[in-house]
Structure 1
Amino acid sequence: MTTPPAPPLTIPASPAAQAQGIHAQGPALRIVGPIHDRFDEILTPEALAFLTELHHRFAGRRHDRLAARMRRRFEIGNGHDPRFRDDTAHIRDDADWRVAGAGPGLEDRRVEITGPTDPKMTINALNSGAKVWLADQEDATSPTWQNVIGGQLSLRDAIRGELAFTSEEGKEYRVTAERTPTIVMRPRGWHLMEKHLEFTDRTGRAMAASGSLVDFGLYFFHNAQALIDAGRGPYFYLAKLESSEEAKLWDDVFTMAEDYLGIAHGTIRATVLIETLPAAFEMDEILFELRDHCAGLNAGRWDYIFSMIKNYRGRGARFVLPDRSQVTMTVPFMRAYTELLVQTCHKRGAFAIGGMSAFIPNRRDPEVTARAFEKVAADKKREAADGFDGTWVAHPDLIPTAQAEFDAVLGDRPNQLDRQRDDVQVRATDLIDVHIGLPITADGVRDNVSVAIRYIEAWLRGQGAVAIDGLMEDAATAEISRSQVWQWIHQDRTTDDGTPITTAYVEGLIAETLQGVERGEEDRFDDAAEVFRDVALREEFPAFLTLGAYSKHLVETD
């Protein structure tokens, strides 16, 4: 049963205390990062009071869930394969329950565009013609303090019809679309921190704020009512969940937030990314725990591959994957997981949203563009035929291609929820069947090193989504690249030409990469190479490359 929310904490009357969000007693949230232009419009005393209450109620449970993740990862690493839970079989076996489903503006999700929330990308997304915009504060955003709060400003202005942007070259950007996509905002995952805000609990213990609660809280507090008044609602994508208990935590956050602002229970709608291996075994349970607030699930393909490598990185040669480019959506474990996702969603009245093909067009290179259109069309055709109700693209030029494939299957219908996929029979062993039978190539190792370093370099400069070699790279694809290198080294793999993949071999590729890039006064390639060494070449395997890199490189002080 959900605990009824307590009344909001009172901000002291002192202007200085209000500016810092400091409470005279009890839990407090303090701004420890610099205040840039217009930050005071987002970090208001009232918004900080709301964030304080969120942390007071949920910070402890968040830490418990993160500890549970570590225990589960340790168990898998020690030979205990994940399985469908015995203690929740009654949820899976009960055919009667359903999720809330689509909120206003989410009835047709056949094409969703994803991207960061800086002003230019926000305007481009809103003008794109997609049905939905995934406003991404997570993997497509480098979590600099400016990006975190600047993204909130972009969203606030866009929702109120006030957003405009002029580039350094003088080009003006404005929202001109008659109908803009429905916004679904993706806050950071539970594992990420916001070190520019510090929470002190009732015992006096100080800790960095939760990136999840900060991103969700600021967006919801400032925009929920405006979104409802516009005929839509406060909608969210939930990233990196690993269990139904984590879904329950989000559901309780939603319920408390609705009560706090006096909004009807169930107004919030969430779409959960199934992008971790443990979550694939609990899809029914995740939907059940979020059922009053749930619209659907998404197949987060890139993080899912990363999660497979992370969990099985030390389990022997049979769990080693080949080149990243060969781990496609048709390999056994990916095919099983996506088919199970569609079946589970439609059984519960939830939307099944497909993933993002990484291929992107290049307006200056017709050959690259033609190849991107061909690859994306094939990917979306497969998803639509499998029963997905919509899909992601990362570039506006790909929207017509993706929509054509879904239009061919959906016609005038907004979705295909009526397609039950009773033909699907997925066993626990199918979800961990990583046998692909292809080699690791020298080019595959080189590409992983090069792409990871170039992406990390851009991330350190504040860019979270980066076009590299005709593909859209974000934190998830960089995680695949570095984790594969780590696993290949520790499992004593060789390339198909017989070259052992060793630390020394990879160091040579790092040097080759650094020699081959264009250097400038403000580049961060040396820092990027050091981050890569920390997450790919050390004995210890960090759970996420972004954690250490964020703490060392992106945290600002006054």
Structure 2
Amino acid sequence: MPAAAPSPLTVLGAPVARQEEVLTAPALEFVAALHKRFTGRRDALLARRAERRAEIARTGTLDFLAETAHIREDPDWRVAPAPAALEDRRVEITGPTDRKMTVNALNSGARVWLADFEDASSPTWENVVLGQLNLIDASARRIDFTAPGGKTYALRPEHELATVVVRPRGWHLDERHLTGGGRPVPGALVDFGLYFFHNARRLAASGKGPFFYLPKTESHLEARLWNDVFTFAQEQLGLPHGTVRATVLIETITAAYEMEEILYELRDHASGLNAGRWDYLFSLIKNFRDAGERFVLPDRNAVTMTVPFMRAYTELLVRTCHKRGAHAIGGMAAFIPSRRDPAVNEAALAKVRADKDREAADGFDGSWVAHPDLVPVARASFDAVLGSRPHQKERLREDVRVTAAQLIAIDTTGARPTVDGLLNAVRVGLRYIEAWLRGHGAVAIFNLMEDAATAEISRSQIWQWINAGVVLEGGEKGGEKATAALVRDLASRELAALRAELGEEAYAAGRWQEAHDLLLKVALDEEYVEFLTLPAYERLES
């Protein structure tokens, strides 16, 4: 018999249990075809990002695109009708693709589970492979989980299970454990390709997908690339054009100026837009980081969704989606309920209710939560507005008129950066990076579910405040300037406090010093790194 053809991709990761069910020869051939066809275009679009950022640094502003005005002005086009499984999206739960989370999310009572390979996942090779395996098992409805203590988790067939919507990694991240043609395959194509290849036919037959969330999109040209990936993938597996549905996260400031164009590029495959609030703030800081005081944001938690520039962003999103027949999905409720502190719970739940009530009243068709206990809270807010209707896309919000200037008119109602805010940025950044280096991408810190987006805000605000020469409010001295020396002192004190709190054995089992050093690097280096996960990935599994 002839020898088997060599794999088109080289697998560099250490063996993972049951990986032969994921990394099959046909699956690797499929991913290799995506890599060969689309990675060059991905590279060109990343270069275009750098060019656009340089233009923002030069002009200090953004505007809607003149060359695509005809798309915005054409009243007739619409996105494809939503499939039945995505008609009602009033509550969506997010989380990584580990086995326990997969079972709990499917059972949560949410309409949708965002199965996350991106900000809520640390991309160790084991997480990447086992995450795909868990989704294969979930698609076949054969998944269960037994915890070390013996507690078992299984699907509850008597309940309606959440519809799975997978979020692959952003275009900027590579997967170093899979290479082809002498270079790593983009993580986005690995995550999309493996999931699509193994599950698309089964999901399509049942009307349950395949569905995707697209993160970190910065332009309609990046949406066009995804649309071409979907078209090619469907052709390769013999699926009808338009089988895929994608929801795009409008979580970059540049994408906010191209919402209609993004929907237009994906119109045969689009199902909606999402207001990714934390990454949006990160993107705003990143792109205008050297624009001085005009773009300095106060403490993260002081930037609420009711400040004018965030209202402009979310109302424009609802207006755009409903104008084009797409779902508008609201932002994350990141609170993690505590079983030990009822007072903290009640205050936080009141804020969650107010946030979800506002989104439902503004016209959103659904929203995100990070914890199953918040599903009923969000559902109640949307039930009160939607009733038995699956969405409110008939509300066209024609009263909304948002100008280009309003999206970047930074008004935070007098809130200013504080010493406590700087300390919180150090504390959250340090804890999150340490957990990420150990393979955990969704981390409960101070009763909030933190992911890479919130860590990005932490280190970016530190960078911005120092480079803008911000004078901080509060603190023992009052009027203290944000400096690298102050940040180093706070980080050193926090590291020592963690060592004392954890004890030597637990401290040594972590990666605290590495996390400390990386936080200071991405927060204090003169050259601002575009994503902290780029240098962090070099240290992952090292």
Taking the aligned partners of 2:210 and 2:41, their CA distance within structure 1 comes to 23
Which amino acid is 1:541 matched to?
Y
Equivalent in the alignment of 1:5: none
Q: Aligned to 2:384, which of 408, 413, 416?
A: 408
Equivalent in the alignment of 1:235: 211
What is the CA-CA distance between 1:358 and the residue it aligns to?
A: 2.1
Equivalent in the alignment of 1:288: 264
Give the unaligned 5+ runs of structure 1.
Answer: 1-11, 22-27, 201-205
Indicate yes or no: 2:236 matched with 1:260.
Answer: yes
Equivalent in the alignment of 2:132: 152
Q: TM-score, normalised by structure 2?
A: 0.96
Taking the aligned partners of 1:488 and 1:96, their CA distance within structure 2 comes to 45
Indicate yes or no: 2:247 matched with 1:274.
Answer: no
Residue identity over aligned pairs, in percent, reads 59
Indicate yes or no: 2:519 matched with 1:532.
Answer: yes
Taking the aligned partners of 1:492 and 1:224, their CA distance within structure 2 comes to 52
Report matched runs for 1:383-398 at 5 Å: 383-398=359-374
Q: TM-score, normalised by structure 1?
A: 0.93
Taking the aligned partners of 2:146 and 2:205, their CA distance within structure 1 comes to 29
CA contact (8 A) 1:143 1:554 kept: no
What is the CA-CA distance between 1:74 and the residue it aligns to?
A: 1.1
Taking the aligned partners of 1:554 and 1:71, their CA distance within structure 2 comes to 32
What is the CA-CA distance between 1:533 and the residue it aligns to?
A: 1.1
Indicate yes or no: 2:433 matched with 1:452.
Answer: no
| Paired residue total | 530
Report matched runs for 1:265-414 at 5 Å: 265-414=241-390
Report matched runs for 1:19-38 at 5 Å: 21=7, 28-38=8-18
Taking the aligned partners of 2:322 and 2:156, their CA distance within structure 1 comes to 35
CA contact (8 A) 1:318 1:435 kept: no
Which amino acid is 1:84 matched to?
F
Q: Aligned to 1:199, which of 175, 180, 186?
A: 180
What is the CA-CA distance between 1:103 and the residue it aligns to?
A: 1.7
1:471-518 Cα shifts (integer Å, max 9, x gaps):
110000000000000001111112112111111100011012112222
Taking the aligned partners of 1:156 and 1:420, their CA distance within structure 2 comes to 38
Report matched runs for 1:124-139 at 5 Å: 124-139=104-119
Report matched runs for 1:35-46 at 5 Å: 35-46=15-26
Indicate yes or no: 2:480 matched with 1:499.
Answer: yes
Equivalent in the alignment of 1:24: none
CA contact (8 A) 1:188 1:212 kept: yes
Taking the aligned partners of 1:101 and 1:111, their CA distance within structure 2 comes to 20
CA contact (8 A) 1:130 1:399 kept: yes
Taking the aligned partners of 2:356 and 2:396, their CA distance within structure 1 comes to 19
Which amino acid is 2:77 matched to?
W
Please identify, of 252-261 and 506-515, the stretch whose mean Cα deviation from structure 2 is larger: 506-515
**Helix, strand or coil for the counterpart of 1:88?**
helix
Report matched runs for 1:207-226 at 5 Å: 207-226=183-202
Please identify, of 268-277 and 153-162, the stretch whose mean Cα deviation from structure 2 is larger: 153-162
CA contact (8 A) 2:251 2:279 kept: yes
Which amino acid is 1:96 matched to?
D
Equivalent in the alignment of 2:82: 102
Taking the aligned partners of 1:190 and 1:13, their CA distance within structure 2 comes to 38
Equivalent in the alignment of 1:67: 47
Taking the aligned partners of 2:171 and 2:48, their CA distance within structure 1 comes to 12
**Helix, strand or coil for the counterpart of 2:444?**
strand
CA contact (8 A) 1:319 1:434 kept: yes
Aligned CA RMSD, in angstroms, stands at 1.2
CA contact (8 A) 1:302 1:477 kept: yes
Taking the aligned partners of 1:409 and 1:426, their CA distance within structure 2 comes to 24
1:337-374 Cα shifts (integer Å, max 9, x gaps):
10000000000000000010222211232122212211
Report matched runs for 1:504-519 at 5 Å: 504-517=485-498, 518-519=502-503
Taking the aligned partners of 1:429 and 1:554, their CA distance within structure 2 comes to 44
CA contact (8 A) 1:361 1:370 kept: no
What is the CA-CA distance between 1:155 and the residue it aligns to?
A: 0.5
Give the unaligned 5+ runs of structure 2.
Answer: none
Name the CA shift for 1:78/1:114 in 2 (closer, same or farther; >3 Å).
Answer: same
What is the CA-CA distance between 1:238 and the residue it aligns to?
A: 0.2
Indicate yes or no: 2:394 matched with 1:418.
Answer: yes
Which amino acid is 2:103 matched to?
I
Indicate yes or no: 2:446 matched with 1:465.
Answer: no
Which amino acid is 2:114 matched to?
L
Indicate yes or no: 2:525 matched with 1:548.
Answer: no
1:247-300 Cα shifts (integer Å, max 9, x gaps):
000000000000000000000000000000000000000000000000000000
Indicate yes or no: 2:153 matched with 1:173.
Answer: yes
Equivalent in the alignment of 1:440: 417
**Helix, strand or coil for the counterpart of 1:224?**
helix
What is the CA-CA distance between 1:13 and the residue it aligns to?
A: 6.1
Please identify, of 90-99 and 177-186, the stretch whose mean Cα deviation from structure 2 is larger: 177-186
Taking the aligned partners of 2:312 and 2:373, their CA distance within structure 1 comes to 30
**Helix, strand or coil for the counterpart of 2:23?**
coil
**Helix, strand or coil for the counterpart of 2:535?**
helix
CA contact (8 A) 2:125 2:177 kept: yes
Which amino acid is 1:340 matched to?
L
What is the CA-CA distance between 1:549 and the residue it aligns to?
A: 0.7
